Chain A
Amino acid sequence: MIYLYAFLFAGLVCLIGQIILDNTKLTPGHITTIFVVLGTLLDVFDIYDKFVLFAGGGALVPITSFGHLLIHGAMDTASQEGFMGLVMGMFDLTASGITSAIIFSFFLALIFKPKD
């Protein structure tokens, strides 16, 4: 059943993005940025955690989860360390994604040539 919810949730997020893209003059860069901000906003009241429990991977795949993980790591550390924890824990949970994206794109860029 979680697969159905994953499908519906991820599909719905992409559909909203596509509707925004088609009906306004915003670029794909704007769309991803809007979704990241939306993800952090939804995590303020732990709404996104419920989505993750409900839709599993479907809620983790869209870029909204990136914002959710940013604020989640920051808040986790902040609950132990106080205000400085916000700065210390910001990249705790997203470090894997950012690091792997940098490593893969750097080494693959060295190997491959751009295709036109």
Chain B
Amino acid sequence: MDKKDYQKLVDKNTPKEKRLKNGIVAFFIGGFMGIIGQGLIDLYMNWFDISSKQASVFMIVTLIFVGCFLTCLGFFDKWVNFARCGLIVPITGFAHAMMSAALEYKKEGMVTGIGANMFKLAGSVIIFGVVSAYTFGLIRLLILGGSV
């Protein structure tokens, strides 16, 4: 068997299995995060007797706190390496990106370190979110005229 055939065989076998495994892990962990989100909403609604809209705000704040705290303790990096998109796509990934940037640049000082670099990774989410929300909002206002 020459090198080309071998490479073909390697390409055919190894990455596919890993992709399948990655996909399954991301699906289950991401789905589990969704269940936790819905569970927290129901929990807060029963505990504090509030509307589901307020409870969803509480849920997002809770998940962000958990994401930040676990990143500080050092667990979250390993979990992200294992679950990949299962933890990056949920809101915990946003918290993780901000927290790890803040921790990483802490040694450069408060203003030039933490202050300047906190949004280094998470900034693109906010920038593109605002830009696309403005653009699509403007288009919708011009075409459909206000709320539909």
Measured CB to CB, the residues of A under 8 A from B are 2-3, 6-15, 17-19, 21-23, 28-29, 31-33, 35-37, 39-41, 43-46, 55-63, 65-67, 70-71, 74-76, 78-79, 83, 86-87, 90, 96-98, 100-102, 104-106, 108-115
Contacts and interface: CB of A to CB of B under 8 A. Distances in A.
Contact of B125 (A12, A36, A100): A36
Contacts, number: 258
Per DSSP, chain A at the interface is helix
A32 B118 contact: no
A31 B33 CA distance: 18
A55 B31 CA distance: 11
Contacts of B19: 19, 22-23
A109 B99 CA distance: 7
Contacts of A10: 30-31, 33-35, 37, 90
Per DSSP, chain B at the interface is helix
